[in-house]
Structure 1
């Protein structure tokens, strides 16, 4: 039993975890548009029953990532370059408001904490292990989101960002170096209480992430037949 399978076998919200896993595979290009996702095969590979897999696919259908084909099951929906650009545009639009509010609310303790988290990311990026890199970047974003004190907006952003394959970025040393620099720019902006500088850092982050994901999907051949 793999680590992922063992973890799923003991978690109560299996359908959400499976939706996250399959959604990430779709957005990373591991599951191509038109690929059929078999309930039995997926359940067996994850060591779970068919029920949470079916629930997960219903969730993904509602979010436009899979289609239900009569008498055949679920297949991965088309995914275009424009779709990727739209997802990141929505993320950036929401993030602009969150970063502005966070900067309004930051105090000296918050600024010190942000600098500490940025240092943690740099350390994780230097070590080059994917999971700690993902976790360190998540902690930076979480700190900003909490500081923004805008719960509903954060929830909307989380929904839009749910299936972004962050592991793809974390496995790329070039992205890690770029993100380290951008995180330091963000921390410096917070220290200087310069919201415009903070916004520019966020805009660069999202623009770069969008371009990298499109390049990754192109390299993976997701659009070769289109």
Structure 2
């Protein structure tokens, strides 16, 4: 997993029941926020989100209310939903928490992984390298994510995986995986080597550094996009 430019295309529309739509709205809006496409203090228009997702306004409102409960949005009566402040420290904290859990999962996988699962990961690493070579930016993040999914299956720690997924739900949908494959292209093979050697502590540290570095790179990209420019200017004026 790694940092990539924001995907400007429309989000993939999921098929499913009405009850899934608020979750789709949450994922879409969370992506807008954590990618810097909308900034703290900006109002979100329900009708525009509904149009973008091809749904009615009711599930959009439900999803936005849920995000307000999570603290990503503020709801102002008679005015609507506004993006809540988010800091570089907030993003780094999320990635730090994710890195802690991911590191433990990697350590457990090193102790439990089978030869068959190692072969699956080895094939994944080759597939990732081929996708990078061919410039398949659509497949790259999916392949990178599947590496982690297979590792989590090897760890046999379902509750930890659930915790990991909960933390991940607050991060950009595509993990910004496509834009800097040189990191994943070297870090995943190093993780695979540690897993083959059944070296739990090396796997833990490699995974921790892998995830934490991801967060640092995301903060750098958002800073370059000027996400915190307004707040920095206000501090200078004060």
TM-score by length of 1: 0.91
Aligned Cα RMSD in Å?
A: 1.8
Match of 1:98 in 2: 105
Contact conserved, 2:11 with 2:28, CA < 8 A, in 1? Answer: no
Match of 2:57 in 1: 50
Give, in whole Å, the separation in 2 of the partners of 1:6 and 1:157: 23
Give, in whole Å, the separation in 1 of the partners of 2:168 and 2:175: 14
Give, in whole Å, the separation in 1 of the partners of 2:12 and 2:67: 23
Contact conserved, 2:108 with 2:200, CA < 8 A, in 1? Answer: no
SS in structure 2 at match of 1:130: coil
Higher relative contact order (CA 8 A, sep 6+): 2
Q: Which 4+ stretches in 1 moved above 2 angstroms?
A: 3-8, 125-131, 163-171
Match of 1:39 in 2: 46
- Residue 44 to residue 91, structure 1, CA distance change in 2 (3 Å): same
Contact conserved, 1:36 with 1:73, CA < 8 A, in 2? Answer: yes
Q: CA deviation at 1:5?
A: 6.9
Superposed CA offset, 1:146-168 (max 9, x none): 11111121111111112422647
Match of 1:137 in 2: 144
Q: Higher helix share goes to which structure?
A: 1
SS in structure 1 at match of 2:41: coil
Superposed CA offset, 1:97-147 (max 9, x none): 211111111121121111111112222222223321111011111111111
Match of 2:21 in 1: 14
Q: Which of the numbers 181, 185, 190 marks the counterpart of 2:190?
A: 185
Contact conserved, 1:134 with 1:166, CA < 8 A, in 2? Answer: no
Give, in whole Å, the separation in 2 of the partners of 1:111 and 1:59: 39
Match of 1:157 in 2: 164
Q: Name structure 1 gaps, 5 residues minimum.
A: none
Contact conserved, 1:130 with 1:167, CA < 8 A, in 2? Answer: no
Matches within 5 A, 1:72-151: 72-151=79-158
Match of 1:60 in 2: 67
- Residue 124 to residue 5, structure 1, CA distance change in 2 (3 Å): closer
Superposed CA offset, 1:47-103 (max 9, x none): 210011112112212222111112111111101011011101110111122111111
Give, in whole Å, the separation in 1 of the partners of 2:99 and 2:160: 12
Q: Which of the numbers 69, 77, 81 marks the counterpart of 2:76?
A: 69
Contact conserved, 2:144 with 2:177, CA < 8 A, in 1? Answer: no
Contact conserved, 1:28 with 1:168, CA < 8 A, in 2? Answer: no
Match of 1:201 in 2: 206
- Residue 205 to residue 17, structure 1, CA distance change in 2 (3 Å): same
* 180-189 or 204-213: bigger deviation: 204-213
